[in-house]
Structure 1
Amino acid sequence: MNGALVIGGGPAGLMAADALLSAGHPVVLAEARPSLGRKLLMAGKSGLNLTKSEGFPAFLSNYGPAAAALRPMLSAFPPEEVMHWAEGLGQTLFTGSTGRVFPHGMKASPLLRAWLARLDGMGLQRHTRWRWTGWDGEAVLMDTPGGALRLTPPVTVLALGGASWARLGSDGQWAEIFARAGLPVTPFAPANAGLCVQWSTHMKPQFGAPLKGVAFHAGDLVSRGEAVISARGLEGGGLYPLSPALREGAPLAIDLCPDIDLATLSKRLSRPRGKQSLSNHLRKVVNLSAATRALLMECARPLPDQPAALAALLKALPVPHAGLRPMDEAISVAGGVPFSALDQGLMLRERPGTFVAGEMLDWEAPTGGYLLTGCLATGLWAGRAAAARLAACPPPGP
């Protein structure tokens, strides 16, 4: 076949196809599931967070150890470019108080429909229920409803996702194909996942209650944000940035009063409480919610009588946990194809002409727009690199 083969119909694959088509190259896109963009649509159910509007150094820092490798891709498609791209697809956007950027409609489906219409208009050939099964020499093997296919595209972009939410298509089975081919893959691990906590029956009335106005600490990581107390533990965007440390077994501590320094907090707790219960006293003098008071009692009873000791506890409440939820319940994963196996264009060094993008790569980032921007940026980068390779090595004539 002439042109490019893109395998994977999520944001990274669609962006790679967009880059190749924009450069004038024909593209065949293969997706194993019955429809495209399933994980994108699921993410949009709670409000499609496209990106985060903030200074680039702060934005880049959220990619942790992979930030240096991702810098060129994110520099080429930073948050402001993501916004321009979405607006070009007819989406009106707004930026929330925390800098998160959303379409006014909040959902992913209008953006996906507009994007697919654009790609179809540029000549994209897309096929669903086409599953990649590996390589045979230079041939790419596909299992399709019409039978097995052997394709020999001059370039291939792999954008098969990670290993979370398998029912939406990211099942991580491609890692076995890489292993058989002798290609390196860093083992997958859950990221942006809930935390397992074994609660006593006293916490049952708090299931579903939010923890607001707190700060989460694990290892060297700190996060301000909201989490929810669930029957299985804790989950939510405020907790997810701590996934790298929690995955390694770091203890979790919660600052229940992050905007009050220790000395001021101790002074407030020294006020006479008369006949009030301690719980009611905490509600009044430091404005602790019912959920945070219940968490305090759950994790630290009996509470110390001395104001200074109690203040120290409120500033660093230890919450025993049993690690992150299973990988298939995670929003994303760590692990994947290491950048050392790729050249600057995200092409596999051991398989020239094959590029990798999106969550297949070994990087992780918290929710809040960073994940989607990373997938779009790496897809665009890989697509442009594949287009440049096609332009440099045109197919032979008849």
Structure 2
Amino acid sequence: MSEEQVVIIGAGPAGLMAAQQMAESGLKVHVYEQNKAAARKFLVAGNGGFNLTHSEEIESFLKKYDAEEIQNIVRSFDNSKVIEWLGDLGITTYVGSSGKIFPTKNFKPIQVLKVWLDQLQKLGVIFHYDHVFLNFNEAEVFLKNNGTEINVKYSKLILAMGGGSWKKTGSDAKWVDTLKAKNIEVKPLEAANSGYNTEAKFHVLQGQYLKNIKVSFEDNEKTGEIVFTKYGLEGSPIYYLNRFTRKHEFPLTLHIDLKPNVSDAEIVKFLEGPDKISSVLKKKLKLSTTALNLLKTLDKETYTNIEILSEIIKKFPIEVLSFRPLDEVISTAGGVAFSELNTHLELHKFPNVFCAGEMLDWEAPTGGYLLQGCFSTGFWVGKAIANSQTISNPEPQN
């Protein structure tokens, strides 16, 4: 049995950021994590390109977030402040060609995390690993450690347990049923930053990339790079369109502009010349091998009709059938409804209990925006508690 303390459940980016803000204000903070180490998803995500935020101008940056509440929170601790915070930790950064912010090459994900954890420990933050969250009430949080159930009293409790993707990292979303049982509204967790399953005819392109193309759905579009997989499509433009396609029933159709910088009229003019269509596509339009292979999936009548072919080059239809399974997507949409929280992200039904990170009902595309959202919500909650009345936190008596 432990004495009253400030408690964080979850040692991911949101929980760690909240811990830092409170510890810097002099509060004694205890972080409980179900894994044997901190921030496993943070490290796994870093294996695919460790972009910590994005250099985009703030007003455009904020539009990447789907909810006004998260936009306001990100504005308070934005991309420029994340860079400053990293610099204070001694982590230098650079801007990649796509505008993403990376730590300089001498900083690998594990090294960035170690620097951060070392700083938190210097500030007096105490970590408790192998502690699985079970439940909470108005005064205590209930956990299991090595088969033994324990209860820990708290003055302030921050829930930062992540979304429902990549269960292997600990984001198992078991907290959903716990909160629902307390009549706290949790929006259904859905695939976000997900690939799409497509018709089988595109599977022959497995492993091939389309670069410098534009993908669109209705009035929404995104330029970038996509890859064909054994089941369908992946890539940042695909992930960006998730939030728009989610509002519709599958199957639905995306369109790919294979030559965004060439007009329909210019394409028609090229195709009307004396050269063979295959030669024009390769030598004059300079379509990539993957683009040429994609066009070969068309029937002969379509491929040889200049007007139709030119339209398809600008708007190649891809029928998508569904999202990928929840556990293998990068993040999840849905979570604790903002209507259940006050402006400090404190639960109306449980004063002194806060939520942060991917547990909240917001989404954003990849490219640094997800991590930024977690950093920002952790900062927001940590500052709110740090700026509130002083909390007495004696050392726990285990």
Q: Distance in 2 between matches of 1:184 and 1:111?
A: 35
Distance 1:299 1:262 in 2: 19
- The runs of at least 4 aligned residues of structure 1 exceeding 6 Å deviation read none
Cα distance in 1 for partners of 2:386, 2:262 equals 55
Separation of aligned partners in 1, 2:299 and 2:193: 27
| CA distance in structure 2 between the aligned counterparts of 1:25 and 1:307, rounded to whole angstroms | 71
> 2:341 matched to which residue of 1?
342
Structure 2 residue aligned with 1:255: 257
User: Distance between the aligned counterparts of 2:387 and 2:143, measured in 1?
Assistant: 25
Unaligned runs of 5+ in 2: none
Which residue is equivalent to 1:90?
90
Name the CA distance, whole Å, in 2 between partners of 1:16 and 1:98: 29
Partners of 2:267 and 2:123 in 1: CA distance: 62
- Check the 8 A contact 1:246/1:324 in 2, yes or no: no
Farther-moved stretch of structure 1 (261-270 vs 47-56)? 261-270
What is residue 6 of structure 1 aligned with on the other side?
Answer: 8
**In structure 2, what is the equivalent of residue 75 of structure 1?**
75
Distance in 1 separating the partners of 2:320 and 2:70: 32
Please tell me the residue identity of whatever aligns with 1:282: L
State how far apart, in whole Å, the 2-side matches of 1:242 and 1:196 are.
14
CA distance in 1, matches of 2:9, 2:293: 49
Unaligned runs of 5+ in 1: none
Deviation at 1:238, TM superposition (A): 2.6
1:243-299: CA deviations, max 9, x gaps?
1123333421111111111112211222211xx4x3333111211111112122225
TM-score (norm 2): 0.93
In structure 2, the partner of 1:175 is 176
CA distance in structure 1 between the partners assigned to 2:71 and 2:192 by the alignment:
21
The answer for the alignment partner of 2:330 in structure 1 is 331
1:42 equivalent in structure 2: 44
The correspondence for 2:22, drawn from 2, 20, 23, is: 20
Q: Deviations over 1:110-152 (max 9, x none)?
A: 1100000000011111011101101245321111127211122
Question: 2:53 aligns to what?
Answer: 51
Distance 2:329 2:62 in 1: 22
Taking structure 1 as the reference length, what is the TM-score of the superposition? 0.93
Q: Which residue of 1 aligns with 2:33?
A: 31
Decide whether the 8 Å contact of 1:246 with 1:323 is kept in 2: no
Measure, in 2, the Cα distance between the counterparts of 1:141 and 1:3. 14
Give aligned pairs, total: 388
Whole-Å separation in 1 of the counterparts to 2:168 and 2:199: 27
Which residue does 2:377 correspond to in 1? 378
Percent identity among equivalent residues? Answer: 36
Paired AA for residue 263 in structure 1: A
Distance 2:56 2:191 in 1: 26
Distance of 1:136 and 1:69 partners within structure 2: 26
Q: Matches of 1:296 and 1:326 in 2, distance apart?
A: 29
Q: Is the 8 A contact 2:226 2:233 kept in 1?
A: yes
Aligned counterparts of 1:139 and 1:369: Cα–Cα separation in 2: 35
- Counterpart of 1:139? 140
Cα shift at 1:306: 3.7
Which whole-Å CA distance do the structure 2 matches of 1:112 and 1:142 have between them?
25
